[in-house]
Amino acid sequence: MNTIKNIGMLLLLFGCYSCKDFLEVEPTNSGDSETAIQTAADAEVMINGLMRQMTSVEYYGRNFIMYGDVKGGDLTIYMQGRGLDALYTFNHTVTTNSYSGFWSSIYNGILQANNLLEGIDKLEANGTTEDFDTYKGQALTARAMMYFDLVRLYGKAYTDDKTAYGVPNITSTLEPYAQPLRATVEENYQQIVNDLTAASPLLSKSKTDGYLNYYANKALQARVYLYMENYPAALAAAEEIINSDVYTLYSNAQWVDSWKQQFGSESIFELGIFPNESDLGTSSLGFYLRRKSDGSSSAAGWFMASDYYLTRLGQDDQDVRWGIMSYDETSKTRLGACYKYSGSIDKVGDGKSTPTAVNIKVIRLSEVYLIAAEAALQSDKALAATYLNAIRKRSPNLPETTAANITLDMVLDERSKELFGEGQRFFDMIRLNKSITFNDEFGNIPVAQREKTIDRTFYKTILPISQDEINANPGIGEQQNPKY
C-alpha cells in the first residue's frame, strides 16, 4: 500500500501482529477496528503489533537507519548497483527512488496508534474499569516518534523554515477515501510535543524491555527539543534520565560486548528482532554493513565507513569503538565494515538462533549524555564538558575536554563516533546547517545528482512526495517539495 488513502482502507480491518518474545498471549492476526480493543490484554497485543510495524525493512529494520548514515557522509559505497545506491547518490525523483516506503510504512504505524487510542477513548467514555494508561502512553509516544521521523524526511529543519510544509497531521482514524493535506513543520512539531507531554505521566518509570516507558518518552523529548533548539528543555529531559540511575553507561571494557546483548544497561528503547518473525536475514541491517561475502555470498558489501569517519575514529587507535569494526573488501587493514548489527565481528548475534536477528537500539543512554552536552554548551560549558567526557573517554588516549576548549564540533564528532550505524549523522548535520562532504573518490563513484559537498540548501536533502501518493491524493501534489 503506497498511499494514505490506501492505508486508510487497509486499516478498516486493523491488523494485529504477534511477537512471542514481547508478550505471553495467543497471537491475534486480525480484528475489526470497532471491536478489537475490549481489554487491556487486547491493547497490549496491539502495542505489540505497533512495535512489530516499526521493525519493517522500510523503517527501523533497515532503511531509515541506513538513510541517516549514508546521507550524512559517514558511510560510502565502493561500487554502484549493489542496493540502496540512491541514498548515496541522492538520485530521487517523484517516480524513481522516491523511497515512498517510508511514507506508507510510517503512516501505517501512525494509523495503528490512532486506532488504538480511539478504541481506548471509547472504552473509557463508557466507564471501563480496565487500566489502559500505559498502552495509551505508549501509543502517544510511538506516534510522536513516527511523526518526528516523517517530518525530518519530508520537511525542512525546524531551525531552517518551520513555516514550510511538513507532513499531514493525522490524529484520528481516516475515512476510506480521505485526502489529508500537509501541515507545516511547526504544526508537526507542536503535535509531537503535545503527544509526548500527554503521554509521559501515563508511563512506567521501570525499565520495560522492548517497550516505550517514561524514560524513552523523556529521551525522545530531549531529541525533539534539541532539534527545536530549545536547549533548556532538552537539557532538563536528558538530565532527568541521567539522574534517575535507571540506566548506566557501559564501561570501556563492556562497550564492545554490549552489542551481543539484548536490553543492556544503556538501552532506553530497543526494538526486538526475532527469528522467523522480524528477522530480515540477508536483507538485514547487519548484512548491509558487513564485509562483502563475509559468512555468505549474499553479503554484497553494500556500504562501508567513509575515509572521513575512519579519520575521526582514528584520532585514537585505542578507541574501544574500533572493536565493532572489521576490514572491508578493499584491504585487510581498512576497517570499514561495521558489525554492530551482527553482534560482533565474529557474527555471534545477540543471543538468538540467527546472527541477523539482532535488536535495534533506537535510543541509548550514550545519546542522552551527548544531547545533554550539546544543550548545556549554550549555558554552562563546564557542565557540557562533563557530559561530553563521559562518552569521550571511550577514546582513552584523547585528553578530556574542558570548559575552555569544548566546541559544538567536538560534540558532533563524538556523536558521529558513538552513534555510527544508528542513523543520526545526516539529521544532525541538517539541523545545524553543517556541510556534508561525500567520499566519492573512495570507489571512484561518478555522481551526477549532487555535488561532492552539500548543505541543507540542496533540495534533495528532503524526499519528494511520491507520484503514487499524488495520484491518490491530488491536493497534496500542489504541496510537493520544491524543485521536484
For residue 221, CA distances in Å to 51, 115, 371 come to: 19, 23, 11
Q: Is residue 248 part of a domain?
A: no
CATH of residue 38? 1.25.40.390
**The three three-digit cell numbers of residue 15, written as one number:** 491488523
Cell representation of residue 359 = 535488536
Range of the domain at 87: 1-203+452-484
pLDDT confidence of residue 32: 53
Torsion over CA: 187, 193, 196, 199 (sign): negative
Q: Which residues pair with 453 in a beta bridge?
A: 437
* Inside any domain, residue 271: no
* 135, part of any domain: yes
Residue 122 binned pLDDT confidence (cut-offs 50, 70, 90) = very high
> How far is 469 from 467, CA to CA, in rounded Å?
5
Q: Assign 177 a pLDDT band (cuts: 50, 70, 90).
A: confident
- pLDDT: is 187 or 34 the higher one? 187
Position 305 scores a pLDDT of 98
CA distance 270 to 478: 38
Any idea which residue has 582513552 for its cell? 396
Task: Give the up-direction half-sphere exposure of residue 217: CA atoms within 13 A in the CB hemisphere.
Answer: 28
pLDDT at 34: 57
* 54-102 per-position pLDDT tens digit: 999 999 999 999 999 999 999 999 999 999 999 999 999 999 999 999 9
Predicted confidence (pLDDT) per residue in 355-406, tens digit = 999 999 999 999 999 999 999 999 999 999 999 999 999 999 999 999 999 9
Amino acid identity for residue 436 in this structure: I
Q: Give the chain's domain count.
A: 1
pLDDT of residue 174: 86
Q: Is the pLDDT of residue 29 over 50?
A: no
Whether residue 226 lies inside any domain: the answer is no
Query: Which pLDDT band, with edges at 50, 70 and 90, does 10 fall under?
Result: very low
Top pLDDT among 308 and 1 is at: 308
Considering the domain boundaries, does residue 242 fall inside one?
Answer: no
Which residues are within 8 A (CB) of 57 and not within 5 positions of it... i.e. 6 or more apart? 63, 101, 280, 283
User: Phi/psi of residue 397, each to 5°?
Assistant: -90, -5
What grid cell was written down for 262? Answer: 539484548
The string of pLDDT tens digits covering residues 331-343 is: 999 999 999 999 9
pLDDT confidence of residue 36: 75
* Alpha-carbon torsion (473, 474, 479, 483), positive or negative: positive
Is-above-0.85 flag for pTM?
yes
How far apart (Å, rounded) are the C-alpha atoms in residues 96 and 31?
A: 35
Q: Is 84 left (phi over 0), alpha (psi -120 to 50) or beta?
A: left
DSSP per-residue string spanning 397-437: TSPPP-TTT--HHHHHHHHHHHSTTSS-HHHHHHHTT--EE
